[in-house]
Amino acid sequence: MPRSRPAPAFRGSPPLGWRALAATLATLLLAVEVRGEEPSARRLRVGSSGDYAPFSLAAEGGAPSGFDVTLAQTYARERGLEVEFVRFRWPELVRDLEKGRFDVAMSGVTVAPRRSLAGRFSVPVVESGAVLLMREPERWQSADELDRPDLRIGVNAGGYLEQVARRRFPHATLLAIPSNQAVREALLAGNLDAAVTDSLEAPQWRRGAEELGQTAAFTRDRKAYLVRADRPELAADLDRWLLERERDGSLDKLRRAQLGAAAAGPIATPLGALFAAIDERLSLMPWVGVAKRKAGLPIGVPEREAQVLDAAVAATRAAATQAKVAPLPESAVRAVFTAQLEAAKQLQAQTLRDPAFVVDEPLPDLETQLRPALLRIGERIAALLVSLPQDLEDDALRAAARDGLRTPSLSQDSVASIAEALVKLSHAKAAKPAAR
């Protein structure tokens, strides 16, 4: 991957230290109205937190650096764009994106349902997991022993890891701290008993503090780039570029150099990205089921399903035209999306039957939030179906589906149905000559 020029400093970078007035400052910052601005056609505004090593890190007022910063610079340079880094705080990521403060967030952003409602995720570039760093690790046999009210667990406020921490340690005293670096400082100062971080960030935190204990990862997450919902052309071009950089090996070379061997790929492959997109779509189904019940709608709506299938066929045709290849057989495309629709209904029904299920409030609106997000993800699935190689082996594809489809509560029958539909599509694709 070509060397990048030094990045410009963040526009409007706030202090990174955790000081006595941090909580007050955070409250004031939340009250500030973030106003969008019209982007230049040749400028790429990249949202970056500046506090999340090894993805994005910057000293106060300084230039950002890290894995995602390098990728943003390289993409912009290859596309002839001027890159501008815009600082965001994790609690405001979605709001800032929706207000148009930047075009794409590139800062170790974990794929999560609430974020899917706000924008368009790219194909994934990294996989990681949440871990717990502990003081006095010899005291604990497992992370479960720290789930006690008298123990203090810190986590960065407002991001995905705070949600994970609240689910994983519901009985502990959880301290959500406004700055990622401040979580580490509090842990090393003895103000916390443990802290939740990321498996790729943990080595940075333990540098010079090797006495900290570390658990195994208790989640398996994908990180991708979050593009504004109204920039479909940017999202599609970024996906194509990432797939190309994975294919030529430069993306994995950078991954190994900046993130270490544990993050080695390949990750951004058409098949892996396809399963990630299907997972992203299915992760919205608990909300869809609850929203349908609230609206008095049944889980199965044949007219709506027919519209979804027609849209999927149209999207794959458009993607094939863009890629200058033969269109996929319509019957095979319909079979793949039908398998997804059946999996979606399985998840909705299971959610509504589960008395322990708690809705993640606020419940998104079915018409204005959920269905537009599902259509956006469906467009990416269609493009990835077109991008699938023709030499996929049946058993390898089935194994990839079992590994790649990770939506909680998704049944093995649903996984198998999606895999078999993809096997048939692969056969049909291999039998059909490419367009010239």
pLDDT digits (tens, 9 = 90+) for 176-235: 999 888 999 999 999 999 999 999 999 999 999 999 999 999 999 999 999 999 999 999
Burial of 357 (0-12, 13-18, 19+ CB in 10 A): middle
Tokens (6 digits) for 91: 């609690």
Please report the pLDDT score of residue 432 as a whole number. Answer: 64
Please report the pLDDT score of residue 391 as a whole number. Answer: 86
Domains 22-127+222-263 and 130-214 belong to one CATH topology: yes
Tokens (6 digits) for 17: 């230290």
Question: Can you identify the CATH homologous superfamily of domain 271-431?
Answer: Chorismate mutase (1.20.59.10)
Domain boundaries, the chain: 22-127+222-263, 130-214, 271-431
What is the DSSP code (8-state) at residue 112?
Answer: -
What would the pLDDT profile of 371-428 be if each residue is shown by its tens digit? Answer: 999 999 999 999 999 999 988 999 999 999 999 999 999 999 999 999 999 999 999 9
What is the DSSP code (8-state) at residue 66?
Answer: S
What is the DSSP code (8-state) at residue 52?
Answer: E
Please report the pLDDT score of residue 59 as a whole number. Answer: 78
Please report the pLDDT score of residue 179 as a whole number. Answer: 86
- Of 103, 114, 128, 322, the closest CA to residue 225 belongs to 103
Question: Can you identify the CATH homologous superfamily of domain 22-127+222-263?
Answer: Periplasmic binding protein-like II (3.40.190.10)
CB atoms within 10 A of CB 348: 23
Contacts of 295 (CB under 8 A, 6+ apart): 366
Please report the pLDDT score of residue 430 as a whole number. Answer: 82
Angle (CA) 141-145-150 rounded to 5° is 135
Which residue's entry shows tokens 């986590």? 155
Whether residue 62 contacts residue 9, with contact meaning beta carbons closer than 8 Å, is answered with: yes
430 to 185, 299, 317, 332, 426: CA distances (angstroms): 55, 35, 17, 12, 6
Torsion sign, CA atoms 16, 22, 27, 31: negative
Whether residue 159 contacts residue 56, with contact meaning beta carbons closer than 8 Å, is answered with: no
Instruction: Select 130-214's CATH number: 3.40.50.150, 3.40.190.10, 3.40.50.620, 3.30.70.1350.
Output: 3.40.190.10
Please report the pLDDT score of residue 68 as a whole number. Answer: 98
Interatomic CA distance for residues 70 and 163, integer angstroms? 28
Please report the pLDDT score of residue 152 as a whole number. Answer: 97
Please report the pLDDT score of residue 62 as a whole number. Answer: 77
Please report the pLDDT score of residue 336 as a whole number. Answer: 98
pLDDT tens string for the chain (436 positions)? 444 444 445 554 443 333 333 333 233 333 333 334 455 569 999 999 999 999 999 977 778 899 999 999 999 999 999 999 999 999 999 999 999 999 999 999 999 999 999 999 999 999 999 999 999 999 998 899 999 999 999 999 998 999 999 999 999 999 999 988 899 999 999 999 999 999 999 999 999 999 999 999 999 999 999 999 999 999 999 999 999 999 999 999 999 999 999 899 899 999 999 999 999 999 999 999 999 999 999 999 999 999 999 999 999 999 999 999 999 999 999 999 999 999 999 999 999 999 989 888 899 999 999 999 999 999 999 999 999 998 899 999 999 999 999 999 999 999 999 999 999 999 998 886 544 4
Please report the pLDDT score of residue 431 as a whole number. Answer: 80
